[in-house]
């Protein structure tokens, strides 16, 4: 099996050089610059093979054994395997692996539990809530009445007292815990307690940490939340997609909320690739990977603090770090551009105090490449060197290229 089947098949190159160029160009970009986007990873050749397979041709509305299309008997096996592996991996009674993305999974969770106009309590967007947690630009903000809790402006830690008081005041139908930028473990037991106190459902949007959960490096939300929403492409390292986990009592409502309520035909190539990724995530090698991701993030966070960045919450429990680069003389937005020019690819993010933008970075991708604590110290120095003007852009690009050259994401 070739590393990147579509490219190596050579078929595309002959038929459509313009698009072949794009695929090869992106492969080159990914392997010559440093991928610090916290939501990204390098999925395995086996996952890519499933994605680039003829399963992509198959229409399969419905669920295994109950499809609206003929000829589903083979792809049904892929979905059954994916569901069984997800249930075993996360200790869930039920798994739905059809959600096309993390956002689709959240939409389905709301559809399963809520009616338009219901009140939902979630982390406010300025503090790292996702678009699906009540942004006015998103269906969530338009169809539900969102109330936002925050984080402590000093410590960056979720304000649990505020969660409790807002829950008592607003009596939400659901409480959402989960974030795009929170570096610490989430206290699911506390959220469960508050939800029970006010009679709310608890939805855990574990899009980011679910891969760490799979590897035993973060607490599992499944025993606490009514529904867990997740992505399969972040730390979990599978194909781009979503999933939902829940107890048997909500299984049918969740399945109906995905299909036919919010989606049509399932993407069977992606579901097969999810099954492959769940299989990989159940191995001791993945457990070691997940713990290395966190160890690397801790070293990177400490390195950045040592270089003068203000590290939100003073560190991290996960793959994710957010920092304020202002002490280095530049805000997050400008910093992202300068760093990108040097081949250091990361994101902007909100900061707890809310005055300026910060930087968000993660260690999932670089750890997949095989980098360890030593490389994290090098990366911290490089980031600071570029922003302080100690290293010019051209030299930084060369240093990045040398560094990543030793850790090809797709050897050969």
Interaction site with ligand PLP (CB under 6 A): 39, 101-103, 106, 130, 132, 178-180, 205, 207-208, 231, 242
Active site residue 255: no
CB of 209 to ligand PLP, least distance (A): 9
CB of 388 to ligand PLP, least distance (A): 30
Q: Pick the catalytic residue from 40, 79, 205, 375.
A: 205
Residue 31 CA to its chain's centroid (Å): 21
Q: Which residue is nearest to ligand PLP (CB)?
A: 102
Taking a C-beta distance cutoff of 8 angstroms, is the pair 381, 307 a contact?
yes
Q: Which CB atom, from 130 or from 397, has the smaller least distance to ligand PLP?
A: 130
CB of 346 to ligand PLP, least distance (A): 15
Question: What span, in angstroms and rounded, lies between the C-alpha atoms of 246 and 226?
Answer: 6
Question: What span, in angstroms and rounded, lies between the C-alpha atoms of 228 and 105?
Answer: 9
CB of 203 to ligand PLP, least distance (A): 11
376, two tokens: 């994290």
Residue spans of alpha helices (H) in 202-342: 210-214, 248-256, 268-281, 284-306, 332-341
Q: Which CB atom, from 33 or from 101, has the smaller least distance to ligand PLP?
A: 101
Q: Which CB atom, from 55 or from 349, has the smaller least distance to ligand PLP?
A: 349
Q: Which CB atom, from 172 or from 242, has the smaller least distance to ligand PLP?
A: 242
Question: What span, in angstroms and rounded, lies between the C-alpha atoms of 392 and 343?
Answer: 12
Q: Which CB atom, from 135 or from 356, has the smaller least distance to ligand PLP?
A: 135
Active site residue 312: no
Backbone angles phi, psi at 322, to 5 degrees: -125, 140
CB of 123 to ligand PLP, least distance (A): 9
CB of 373 to ligand PLP, least distance (A): 26
CB of 132 to ligand PLP, least distance (A): 6
Q: Pick the catalytic residue from 234, 237, 274, 397.
A: 234
Backbone angles phi, psi at 209, to 5 degrees: -80, -5
Q: Which CB atom, from 114 or from 391, has the smaller least distance to ligand PLP?
A: 114
CB of 129 to ligand PLP, least distance (A): 8
CB burial string 217-251: b at 16+ within 10 A, e below = bbbbbbebbbbbbbbbbbbbbbbbbbbbbbeeebb
Neighbours of 196 (CB within 10 A): 10
Question: What span, in angstroms and rounded, lies between the C-alpha atoms of 86 and 336?
Answer: 36
Q: Could you tell me the sign of the dihedral formed by the alpha carbons of 5, 88, 181, 118, in that order? A: positive
Cis amide leading into 260 (omega within 30): yes
Q: Pick the catalytic residue from 164, 240, 388, 401.
A: 240
DSSP string, 95-155: EE---SSHHHHHHHHHHHH--TT-EEEEE-GGGT--GGGT-TTSHHHHHSEEEEE-B-TTT
Closest CA to 204 of 78, 92, 353: 92
Query: Could you tell me what percentage of the chain is helix, strand and coil, using 3-state DSSP and rounding each to the nearest 5?
Result: 50, 15, 35
Question: What span, in angstroms and rounded, lies between the C-alpha atoms of 159 and 145?
Answer: 20
Q: Which CB atom, from 114 or from 342, has the smaller least distance to ligand PLP?
A: 114
Active site residue 149: no
Q: Pick the catalytic residue from 61, 76, 145, 193.
A: 61
Active site residue 231: yes
Q: Which CB atom, from 94 or from 208, has the smaller least distance to ligand PLP?
A: 208
Active site residue 347: no
Question: What span, in angstroms and rounded, lies between the C-alpha atoms of 104 and 102?
Answer: 5
Active site residue 234: yes
**Positions marked catalytic:** 59, 61, 205, 231, 234, 240
């Amino acid at each position: 099996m070739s590393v990147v089947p579509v490219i190596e098949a050579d078929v595309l190159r002959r038929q459509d050089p313009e698009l072949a160029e794009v695929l090869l160009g992106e492969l080159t970009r990914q392997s010559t610059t440093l991928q610090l986007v916290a939501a990204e990873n390098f999925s395995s050749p086996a996952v890519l093979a499933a994605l680039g397979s003829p399963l992509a041709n198959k229409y399969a509305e419905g669920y295994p054994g109950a499809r609206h299309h003929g000829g589903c008997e083979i792809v049904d096996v892929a979905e059954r395997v994916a569901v069984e592996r997800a249930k075993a991996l996360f200790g869930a009674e039920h798994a739905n692996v059809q959600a096309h993305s993390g956002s689709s999974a959240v939409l389905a969770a709301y559809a399963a539990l809520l009616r338009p106009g219901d009140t939902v309590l979630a982390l406010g967007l300025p503090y790292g809530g996702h678009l699906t947690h009540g942004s006015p630009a998103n269906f969530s903000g338009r169809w539900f009445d969102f109330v936002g809790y925050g984080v402590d402006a000093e410590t960056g830690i979720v304000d649990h007292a505020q969660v409790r008081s807002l829950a008592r005041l607003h009596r939400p139908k659901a409480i959402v815990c989960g974030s795009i930028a929170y570096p610490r473990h989430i206290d699911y037991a506390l959220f469960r307690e508050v939800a029970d106190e006010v009679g709310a459902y608890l939805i855990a949007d574990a899009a980011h940490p679910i891969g760490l959960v799979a590897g035993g490096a973060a607490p599992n939300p499944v025993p606490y939340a009514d529904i867990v929403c997740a992505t399969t492409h972040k730390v979990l390292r599978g194909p781009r997609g979503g999933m939902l986990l829940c107890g048997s009592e909500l299984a049918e409502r969740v399945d109906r909320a995905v299909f036919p309520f919010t989606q049509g035909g399932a993407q069977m190539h992606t579901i097969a690739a999810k099954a492959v990724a769940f299989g990989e995530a159940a191995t001791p090698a993945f457990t070691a990977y997940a713990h290395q991701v966190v160890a690397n993030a801790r070293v990177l966070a400490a390195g950045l603090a040592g270089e003068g960045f203000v590290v939100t919450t003073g560190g991290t429990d996960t793959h994710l770090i957010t920092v304020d680069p202002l002490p280095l003389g530049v805000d997050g937005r400008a910093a992202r551009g300068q760093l990108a020019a040097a081949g250091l690819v990361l994101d902007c993010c909100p900061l707890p105090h809310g005055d300026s933008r910060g930087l968000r970075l993660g260690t999932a991708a670089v750890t997949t490449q095989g980098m360890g604590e030593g490389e994290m110290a090098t990366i911290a120095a490089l980031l600071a060197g570029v922003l302080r003007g100690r290293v010019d852009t051209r030299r930084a690009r060369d240093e990045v290229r040398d560094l990543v050259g030793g850790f090809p994401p797709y050897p050969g």
